[in-house]
Amino acid sequence: MGEGRTRLCATVTAETTSELRARRDAQEGADLVELRLDGVADPDVGGALADRRLPVVATCRPTWEGGAFAGSEAERRRILLEACRLGAENVDVEQRAGFADEVLAARGGRGVVLSFHDFDGVPADLEARYRSMRATGAEVVKIAAAAGSLTESLRVARLGSDDEPRVLIGMGVAGIPSRVLAGRFGSCWTYAGDGIAPGQIDLVRMREQFRFREISEGTAVYGVLGSPIGHSLSPAMHNAGFRAHGIDAVYLPLEAADVEDFLAFADAVGLRGASVTAPFKEAIGPHVAEQDAIGNAIGAVNTVRPLAGGGWEGLNTDVPGLLAPLTGRMALAGARATVLGSGGVARAAAFALRGAGADVTVCARRPERAAAVADVAPGTRTAPLPPRPASWDLLVNTTPLGTWPAAGRSPLPDGPFDGRLVYDLVYNPPETRLMADAARAGCDTIGGLDMLVAQAVRQFAWWTGETPSADRFRQAAEHDLARQAQGVSGAAAQPA
């Protein structure tokens, strides 16, 4: 089952059969529903299947394979064989279950999903295991393994051939491409919903943000390279831009083990462009054949695209993105600006502010790192943390301190807040402790979402030739922040 026939399977869990049925029937936009009977206190298989509108996958996953069922194997066997007898369209049984052969025999293999899950990593015998599972006669083979890298995710997703019904998933954030691009890789369905598996995406986000049903072999793939990256608001912004401009493209979070892992993945999927965030803004440099003047000057780029003849071209949109929110808020020429941090964004900040005529000081925990930042902007000074009282007019935080879920932290828990404007590049939460403390002391504040949107607009235009609406990008980002705050995503955000 290849591209174009890949379905969305909504996973639903509940504590009671009646709740499971209600949730089953509420999955708007799903093609089929996985009924997780393992979480139901007293599962009634007939009740769970009754009056269903969509085909189902009946699953009763044991604790020893990542599920919630802690009862006996005899009871689990009864539940799954009853699902077979009552006509569940698909029944999931683990390869390692002692009664797997009975489930296969009960259906002659038809509608049986023979599954294997490894939460520790991708097993060395992956290919051999797939072949042995295929040989059982099960209609669908499902393998889900924790992917520690993008290339490990690819190794799982590329198993099998087009005529073999299969569901192949790299679990974890690094495995998200295997879920969103499931049709490209040939899976017959991909799971969405309750997020009970690492990296699983909710159904609405799969349909609306990633436009799963519109992805085809011709869809251009973009992404954001970083680690950790599950928090990123960039997919929400850029996918909103693609939709608004009618561009057949999808933008994914790409959590790579290292730059080489990213490059191998990019080559495999024909990546058309990527945003680059921590910790790769400087590390990507040696792999970029051409870059803009800003990237050359500061030794860091945050945007790449492939060159026609091979290799990569880099751009730094952090510098103009950082300056844009300051326009009209403060005259930078002659202002005393203090930059907190020593990473790629700190380099961009020092370079931008010096270029605008500010008197810049970099404060960091490690003096040698602060000196390296100062080197990219001649005339920049360094100083230890915290800044001296009455030493700044503008304070720019480029560190991740204060990022959700550690929103109570601050790079300056004790101030001083005796300047004019505090610009915190953390964007989640929208108001950080640093900003709140500064506002109470009488400072003006700017949050990180302003810069995030400004630099993303420039990235999109560089890749596509289209200038997106900054308001649309902001709305998409704010919507995704609200989603994360509701607990749909458990990942954190930092300056990107």
Positions marked active-site: 281
Q: Are 396 and 423 in contact (CB under 8 A)?
A: yes
DSSP 181: T
Nearest 5°: the CA angle 414, 418, 421 is: 105
Half-sphere exposure of 148 (CA within 13 A, CB side): 6
Residues 6+ apart with CB under 8 A from 346: 339, 340, 362, 364, 373, 398
Residues 6+ apart with CB under 8 A from 305: 272, 273, 274, 312, 313, 315, 462, 463
DSSP codes of every residue in 383-430: EPSSPPTT--SEEEE-S-TT-TTSTT--S-TT----SSEEEE---SSS
Q: Are 252 and 470 in contact (CB under 8 A)?
A: no
Q: Are 243 and 217 in contact (CB under 8 A)?
A: no
Q: Is 192 strand, coil or helix?
A: strand
Instruction: Report the alpha-carbon distance of residue 163 to residue 329 in Å, rounded.
Output: 61
Q: 241 to each of 51, 293, 473, how far by Cα in Å?
A: 40, 27, 7
Q: Quickly list H helices, 3-72.
A: 17-24, 45-49
Beta bridge partners of 222: 251, 273
Q: 159 to each of 262, 335, 368, how far by Cα in Å?
A: 20, 59, 47
Instruction: Report the alpha-carbon distance of residue 341 to residue 206 in Å, rounded.
Output: 35
Instruction: Report the alpha-carbon distance of residue 32 to residue 329 in Å, rounded.
Output: 52
Class of residue 340 by CB neighbours under 10 A (exposed 0-12, middle 13-18, buried 19+): buried
Q: Quickly list H helices, 98-233.
A: 100-107, 126-134, 150-157, 176-180, 182-185, 203-204
Nearest 5°: the CA angle 363, 256, 133 is: 155
- Locate 410 and state its tokens: 């601050």
Q: Are 340 and 315 in contact (CB under 8 A)?
A: no
Instruction: Report the alpha-carbon distance of residue 78 to residue 26 in Å, rounded.
Output: 27
